[in-house]
Amino acid sequence: MSAVEIPAVAPSAVGYAQLTAAIVAHPAVRAELPVEFASSFPVPTLRLGRPAWAAFAGPASRRRGQPLRLWAPDRWWALDQWGHSLVLYALVSAQPFGAEVEPGPVEVSPPAPDVASYDEDQRVLAELMDSVAPTFFNQGELAKPARSALLEHLSVQLVGPAVVWYRPLAPDFFAWLEA
């Protein structure tokens, strides 16, 4: 893919918490996403030629008292930076989102011990994404501590072995965070 000139963008009026809900609630995604699938947290990317939030989904097995089992994503999609327009929806078999992904299944334990802790972790993730994403979308400079804080929080939130599926989804974002 050739380099694309990406115009400067204003900060998103939609917060990360709302975007997380919107990314699976989009009518096209709802129509195509099987109920037994698990979807990822959205991550920002410029790989599609414009600021967007990308996510993936794949088969999942949920059983009470057992860790969540996930298989490799078989689809991915992206919404524009405001969470309104579908930029892309593709099956991995037709349009891979990166290099070969681990097939799974992988077992994932919850990153937080209880609902209150999980909610707090989600609040912190949303706060960090809301402060960092606009700078990423504009390819601006951000102090290393701010990038490191988000990267560290993502490493906890992007549950266990499934983290390997996020990097190929938004390689530009992770490279920017780690720079």
pLDDT in tens, 70-87: 898 999 999 998 888 899
Q: What is the pTM of this model?
A: 0.86
Q: What are 30's two structure tokens?
A: 């709802």
Answer yes or no: is pLDDT of 63 > 70.
yes
The answer to the question of residue 10 being in a domain is no
- Under the banding of pLDDT at 50, 70 and 90, the label for residue 13 is low
The answer to the question of residue 5 being in a domain is no
Residues 132 and 144 sit within 8 Å (Cβ to Cβ)? no
Structural domain tally of the chain? 1
The answer to the question of residue 11 being in a domain is no
By residue range, what is the domain housing residue 50? 16-178
Please give the pLDDT value at position 111: 66
Answer yes or no: is pLDDT of 2 > 50.
no
Answer yes or no: is pLDDT of 174 > 70.
yes
The answer to the question of residue 63 being in a domain is yes
